[in-house]
Amino acid sequence: MPIGFAIPQLGPQAREGREVPRFAREVERAGAHSLWVGDRLLAATRPKVGYRGGTTIPAEFDAVLDPFAVLTAAAAVTERVRLGTNVLVAPLYRPVPLARALTTIDVISGGRLVAGLGIGWSPEEYEAAGVPFDHRGARLQETIEALRTIWTSDPAEYRGRYVTVPEHRSSLDPVQRPHPPIHLAAFAPAGIARVGRYADGWLPALRVPGNADQARFLRRMRQDVDAAAESAGRDPSDIETIIRVNVEHGATEAQIAETIESTAADTGFEDYFIDLMYLVESVDQVLDTAQRLLRRLG
């Protein structure tokens, strides 16, 4: 099955950023199907909202490499793997520079970008970016509409309630036409409905270790995605599913493989990428673990 990996980008792994090109080359050579980056602007010391709805933020979020730079470095040294963002907190970015950065990666990679977007959860990140925390879903929706306009129109112009793009010439086209696929991370009902109505793909997550209901939960949410797509007159089969596998502290490689295998058997979902941020600290350890998992799963 297609198996990808998060590029070493956060926590202790981020301090070895110079190794990103080597990691990307070697994990592609080992058979990886995709490489992914995340997006954290800052880790608040006294967060109003903690990670996963808790009261704290993981120490690994204290050190984060820029997602655009990291993905560009991987794009420049690979030839085959898909290159994805899971996810960019889209409302933190204005559409024009966001479109330029994503187009650049798509051009450099020869058309391998997957633009994964989300609304985030940190009020402090929004504060740091100078963006109101309310109406995040509407801001995300308008950002998607603006990106598609920039990518498909010349001249391009977009005017929404929260997002404005002045009319301009837009002749730098991405390789993928009409535009790179836009995937959305969503679990809440409004987000799931947005996936079905507008997105090219859905980005759910698994935890390892996780509870026994994870596969059933994913199946039910995918049914809701499909229902929203059908209500919007879309073909649900046009919306792909790529599952992020969040590996917790202390998990074993056997648990990772068994969780993916059992989830694939229970759901029919076949495309996964594994984030080893909490499991190992060095880039070499990430690469060694990835190679062993690929031998079993790839």
Write out pLDDT tens, residues 188-215.
999 999 999 999 999 999 999 998 899 9
The reported pTM is: 0.96
Strand partners, 64: 10
Mean pLDDT value across residues 163-188: 94
| 145 exposure class (CB count in 10 Å sphere: 0-12, 13-18, 19+) | middle
Q: What is the pLDDT of residue 212?
A: 85
The helices-and-strands tally (H runs, E runs) of the chain is: 9, 13
- The strand pair at 113-118 and 201-202 is best described as unpaired
Q: Give the residue among 241, 245, 244, 243 at the shortest CA–CA distance from 225.
A: 241
Separation between Cα atoms, residue 63 and residue 188, nearest integer Å: 28
Assess contact for 242 and 215: CB atoms under 8 A. Answer: no
Q: What is the pLDDT confidence band of residue 53, given thresholds at 50, 70 and 90?
A: confident
Mean pLDDT value across residues 137-164: 97
| CA 140 and chain centroid, separation | 14
Q: What is the pLDDT of residue 274?
A: 98
Assess contact for 89 and 158: CB atoms under 8 A. Answer: no
Assess contact for 153 and 124: CB atoms under 8 A. Answer: no
Structure tokens at 184: 């959305």
Separation between Cα atoms, residue 24 and residue 19, nearest integer Å: 9
Contacts of residue 29, defined as CB under 8 A and 6 or more positions apart, other chains included, come to: none
Q: What is the pLDDT confidence band of residue 184, given thresholds at 50, 70 and 90?
A: very high
Quick: pLDDT tens for 238-250.
999 999 999 999 9
